[in-house]
Amino acid sequence: MNNKFRKILLMVDMLALASLVFTACLDVSKLEEKPTTDDGICTSHTYGEWTYSEGFDCYLGGSKTHKCTACGEEETVTVEKKAEHTPDEAGYCKICGALNGLDLVLNSAETEYTVATFWGNAVDIVLPSTYNGLPITRIGMNSFGKSSMKSIVIPDTVRRIEESAFHTCLELEAVTVGNGVTIIVDNAFQNCPKLKKVVMGNSVTDIGNGVFYGCASLSDITISQSIKRIGNNLFNGCSSLTEFTIPDGVTSVGPYAFASCISLESVYIPDSVTGIGAFAFSDCRKLSDVKLPSDLKQISPNTFSKCYSLAGITLPETLVGIGNYAFADCTMLYEIKLPNSVINLGVYAFSNCTNLKNVTFSNQITSIPVKAFTNCSALDGITIPASVSRIYASAFEGCTGLETVYYGGSGDFWSVVAVEENNDPLHNATITKAPDGK
Ligand SMILES: [Zn+2]
Ligand SMILES: [Zn+2]
């Protein structure tokens, strides 16, 4: 055997030995026994856990490093893009920490991300503020719709929450809106029946229509003081809301804004409000405390219909019109004074106000419309001003308690007042006319 061949055989022996050592090293309990060469470098390293590069995301790839537990040598390898995360029980990736199921879209300028969809199963979500070094600025239309999370914290980088972003999240209980959000678009949280608490800063300048429509558990909401309107249907069906203060600066309350808030007891409407839409407080069965803004000109149709607990309300001296059914079925309403600014009264305006006892008319009213006071059975006396020339059909139909009518004009004038059909209570009452015919 020549020398060279002998050397080769020796190397083969050493390789066999190394392989034996490597096999032994797989047994964690024998790590300390692992031999090193004279210069302290392992013949075979025993690596610890991988550490991923800064900002590593499974979707983007990157690099990972691990270190030998015996000699400290590091090894870094490239990790290719991967189509999925490895979520833990809370829904966050065990490898990169990202929220599993969050699909983000980069804008065309490549400066920011929008949440496009969420399909993960995380329960308590803290939405990240950045991705791949860029801010997440929008929560896209429908993105979280019908998800099953219980809570979400929206970061300050988000500026817009788009339409229906969180609609029908049946388990959602708590939302924290980031301090960078300026716009919450229509129906964003519509039909989240367990949503109880919403925290919102003053960065929000606009909340769209129907944003909390049907949130039947909503009882604790801090709303931005910077908004200028209460949108249509904003709190429609929020049956757990017991009180609400509309921020100063709001100028309009949309139709159905608080409709069917059946637990709402008191609402503060600031003087900045100049318009209140139809049905805005309809079916607020417990509403007993409401002060109207001092410059209000119109009460829209059905605004307070079916407010079964409303015993009294002061109408502002600027009021010109009261819409159809405005106070219909307010069965606790005891007294109403129409200021002299009121010119128009709608049909059925006070119909079925069965507890209404005292009515003071405006001296500008020229007619009493159809069914205006029908079934106001507690009404025992009224004063009809001389300005009235027509009493429409059924205006006082069913006013079974009516005994006395004081007419502000003379007997001659009363004789030309047109009283249409189905006003028997008026005919049966004792009519007293003003002696001087004024
Ligand atoms: Zn080593
Ligand atoms: Zn991941």
- Nearest of 382, 391, 438 to residue 410 by alpha carbon: 438
Q: How far does residue 60's CA lie from ligand 2's centre (Å)? A: 9
Identify the pLDDT of residue 10.
Answer: 43
Amino acid at 313: I
Q: How far does residue 48's CA lie from ligand 1's centre (Å)? A: 10
Ligand nearest to the CA of 72: 1
Phi then psi for residue 346, to 5 deg, are -85, 165
Cα 162 from Cα 208, distance rounded (Å): 10
Q: How far does residue 16's CA lie from ligand 1's centre (Å)? A: 19
Q: How far does residue 86's CA lie from ligand 2's centre (Å)? A: 6
Identify the pLDDT of residue 436.
Answer: 57
Query: Residue 31: helix, strand or coil by DSSP?
Result: helix
Ligand nearest to the CA of 35: 1
Q: How far does residue 164's CA lie from ligand 2's centre (Å)? A: 28
- Nearest of 230, 266, 235 to residue 248 by alpha carbon: 230
Handedness of CA 298, 303, 306, 309 (dihedral sign): negative
> Kind of pairing, strands 252-253 and 275-276?
parallel
String of b and e for 403-437 (b: at least 16 CB within 10 Å)?
eebebbbeeebbeebebeebbebbeebeeebbeee
Cα 161 from Cα 294, distance rounded (Å): 34
- Nearest of 115, 84, 83 to residue 100 by alpha carbon: 84
Q: How far does residue 83's CA lie from ligand 1's centre (Å)? A: 33
Q: How far does residue 93's CA lie from ligand 2's centre (Å)? A: 4
Q: How far does residue 42's CA lie from ligand 1's centre (Å)? A: 4
Residue ranges of the chain with per-residue pLDDT less than 50: 1-31, 33, 437-438
Ligand nearest to the CA of 83: 2
Q: How far does residue 74's CA lie from ligand 1's centre (Å)? A: 9
Query: Residue 19: helix, strand or coil by DSSP?
Result: helix
Sequence length of the chain is 438
> Kind of pairing, strands 183-184 and 160-161?
parallel
Q: How far does residue 261's CA lie from ligand 1's centre (Å)? A: 69
Q: How far does residue 34's CA lie from ligand 1's centre (Å)? A: 9
Identify the pLDDT of residue 60.
Answer: 85
Q: How far does residue 71's CA lie from ligand 1's centre (Å)? A: 4
pTM of the model: 0.86
Which long-range CB contacts under 8 A does 292-300 form with residues at least 24 apart? Answer: 292/316, 293/269, 294/318, 295/271, 297/321, 298/322, 298/323, 299/323, 299/326, 300/255, 300/275, 300/276, 300/326
Contact 310, 290 (CB under 8 A): yes
Identify the pLDDT of residue 38.
Answer: 64
